[in-house]
Structure 1
Amino acid sequence: MLPTRARAATAAAFATQGLVFISLTTRLPDFADRWDLSEVALSGLLLVLVLVAGVGSVIAEKVAARRDSATLLRTGLLVMAVALPTLVLAGTQAVFVAGIVGYGFALGLVDAATNMQGVAVEHRYGRPLLPSLHGCWTLGGLVGAGITLATATLPLGATAALAVVPVTAAAAPYLPRVHTPPDPDVVLEAAAVPWRPIVLVGAAMVVFYMVDSASAAWGPLYLEDVVAAPERLVALATFPYLLASLVVRLAGDRLVATYGAVPVLRVGAVVAALALAVVVAAPTWPVAVVGFTLLGAGVAVIAPLSFSAAARIAGGDQARVDAVVARFNQFNYVGGLLGSVLTGLAGAGSLRVGFAVPMVLVLALVPLARTFAAGSGPVASPAGRAGPGTRRS
């Protein structure tokens, strides 16, 4: 029997993650104004967020040997529900930073656990599903950006009400681990996990998160400071980006099943590079919005295909796959460092320079795409067989 309830629950978890994350990043100009943060100081806070999220993902890897991803996911969502109002309603900078740290830790747990659930559900269905599941993250992000646009005139503290969303998601019926996990000391034996191809797939995910984080963290400030968009419209750096990404991700299951991962990724890389060129050269804010929109379409399926490929390459039982997915999730934060932090530092004088960096680096996806040739379908079963309906590129 297909786990339809677990698939819906996993989709809701992805949507919750996207909604909260984008609700916060589209409020970055408000946080910067409230605490009088320069671009360098804001880069420092983003660095803290990324590093703590990495810690959360490492802990998820260690816990995966003993607890299933459903437990990890619920824990992360509840921590998020506490951290969100803490950082939004903080009365002092110390409390604000504590909220950032708490949210970063939750981010790492939820990032890892949602993808563990996604890989497990995809395996049970035996066909590509991660693109559309990541599309639910994007849908949540769209709702978050829409909420920011609709509540731009309300106090920043109103965002704290969103804490009810992760609390609700924590009660969803996630997919439990069917098999008893093996001895945790042998889950990640070096000889058993083929890390070299996984690292190459991870390099592609670094590029994606570099571009995605740069857009999410600095796009609103780019519109406001560089191309003089009205303050109430700065979320347009994020909203059309997410809308285009949503359309491509929802179509991504069928695109990958029909054409394979390699051509889909290569076309997307070229589109993304052209889109960033439009952003960098934009003379006005509407032109920059067009660039961000094309960018969302270009990079949409990189992350879901990366997780699917890494899990399939890893193989083995679900406990080992979960641990590999959690470790693989670290590439997310390497990309986050490059996108959120280095884009801000390189663009300290002008964010046009900051966005020129991912414009060049995104073309690395063209040669890296061939690594996905054997990993574009769902994760293999413990016996090494692909599930029914799997298409090998």
Structure 2
Amino acid sequence: MDAANHLVAARRARWAVAALFLGNGFMVGSWAPHIPLLVGRLEISAGVLGILIFFFGVGALVSMPFAGWLMSRFGQKPVLRFFALMQGLGLLLVELSPAVPVAALAMAFFGASIGCTDVAMNASTVTVERQLGKAVMSSMHGFWSLGGFAGGALGGLLIKTVGVLPHAVIVAVLVVGVGFLIRPLFIETDEKAAATAGNATRSSGFPRQPILYILGLLALFCFVSEGVVLDWAALYLTRELGSDVAVAGLAYAFFAGAMALMRFAGDGVRNRFGAVPTMRASALVAGLAMLAASLAPMPWLVIAAFAVCGLGVANTVPIIFSAAGNQPGVSSAAGMSVATTMGYAGILLAPGSIGFVGDHVGFAPVFAAMAALLFVVFLASPLTRSADSDHGGAGH
């Protein structure tokens, strides 16, 4: 295949992977309105529901390194094709579960399918970036945010209109259908390089480069900061600043909306200025805005601060993922599995502990602590220079 055909294939693959990000986000967003309804259907307490959600998280975290191994062993394309279809079945299996033990297994499968797809599509994005010679990771995460918004916004309406199980069937058909249509458009990494990376991965079990685990820790810091706004911003505004529920709900909405917009703009910024300067500015803005949210005395000032924080934090994880996927001496799949597993561990582990701390000392100190984590990411920004290594960014 000549250079022109390679470029055409890479452009097609870019939109195929974007559709996969959109579908993955749509699936996660569609799950959100099912959560309270599961309590009534299975006649369980909130505590049991928490255990089921924990199974989802464990399924995702345990499976993510396995997805990296599969891609190093068999290549990206077949693994991506498989999980593009499998992710569509998770929600349906949960809704078909007749009892708690079966639901726990279904939740673990659901989490595993979402987690493995996440690793595969991020690793494939690194491959597309190499083929195109420019950054596209931020816009991919923008499509995920857009899918999550669509899934959440349409989910409640469809459940009210057609019912819970029919909604799960519709979601499964849409996601599996899109996955089937885009399967021919995925591209593969160089077979010799993939085989070499696969041998290294099998012999060592996990990558040995310390920087991968540092990048994973930075991803965790960014994900925890994002998750804290999702889980606790509304409670902070109502409990500590006296806001009503309608206004408090705008905190995450403005944060998420700003984050989605900046993710679509982020690739242009990164291609213009390079990964390290973009990362440095993003983390600094996010940290300062998070600190402002912890200090602001009025609800609308807090909401504005969270919106600015969303603009800052938007491109941090995409750049970290690109850096992990471009580390020399390790396959992009293996590097991505480390970064995604450690990053998403923050979403699983943080909510309970942060809620406990917030109950005892208030949430203003919690948001100040998140600002400190983002300042650490700012200081560590030079570690993301490898994000530009395969498309000649200015960050070198």
Q: TM-score range by the shorter chain?
A: 0.7 to 0.9
In 2, Cα distance between equivalents of 1:37 and 1:357: 32
Q: How many residues align?
A: 378
Contact in 1 for aligned 2:277/2:395 (Cα 8 Å): no
Q: Structure 1 residue 109: deviation in Å?
A: 0.7
Q: Which moved more, 1:270-279 or 1:160-169?
A: 270-279
Partner amino acid for 1:135? G
Query: 2: CA distance between counterparts of 1:335 and 1:242?
Result: 18
Q: Which of the numbers 367, 370, 387 marks the counterpart of 2:382?
A: 370
What is the letter of the counterpart of residue 229 of structure 1? V
Question: Paired residue for 2:195, among 161, 182, 195?
Answer: 182
Q: CA deviation at 1:253?
A: 1.4
Of 382, 391, 394, the residue aligned with 1:391 is 394
Whether contact under 8 Å (1:26, 1:238) holds in the other structure is no
Q: How much is the aligned-residue C-alpha RMSD, in angstroms?
A: 3.5
Give unmatched runs, 5+ long, in structure 1: 379-385
Higher helix share: 2
1:1-393 paired onto structure 2 within 5 Å: 1-2=6-7, 3-25=10-32, 28=35, 37-38=45-46, 44-88=51-95, 90-148=97-155, 150=157, 156-157=164-165, 159-160=167-168, 161-171=170-180, 172=182, 173-180=185-192, 181-182=194-195, 184-187=198-201, 195-217=209-231, 227-230=243-246, 236-277=250-291, 289-315=303-329, 320-347=331-358, 352=363, 355=367, 357-372=369-384, 374-378=385-389, 386-387=390-391, 389-393=392-396
What residue identity is the alignment partner of 1:391? A
Change (3 A) 1:17 1:224: farther
Q: What is the TM-score of this pair, normalised by structure 1?
A: 0.81
Amino acid at match of 2:11: T
Aligned counterparts of 1:221 and 1:31: Cα–Cα separation in 2: 23
Once the two structures are superposed, residues 344-378 of structure 1 have per-residue CA deviations (whole angstroms, 9 ceiling, x without a partner) of: 44345687366554344232212111212x32315
Structure 2 Cα separation of the partners of residues 375 and 139 of structure 1: 28
Q: CA deviation at 1:104?
A: 0.8
Q: What is the aligned-residue identity percentage?
A: 24
Residue deviations 1:173-208 (CA, integer Å, cap 9, x gap): 211344244264334666x96612222222211111
CA contact (8 A) 1:51 1:333 kept: no
Q: Distance in 2 between matches of 1:262 and 1:135?
A: 20
Relative distance call for 1:362 and 1:28 in structure 2 (3 A) is: farther
* Residues 97/194 of structure 1: CA separation in 2 closer, same or farther (3 Å cut): closer
Contact 2:27/2:151, CA 8 A, preserved across alignment: yes
Query: Does the aligned pair in 1 maintain the 2:283–2:313 contact within 8 Å?
Result: yes
Shift of 1:149: 6.5
How far off is 1:256 after superposition?
Answer: 1.5
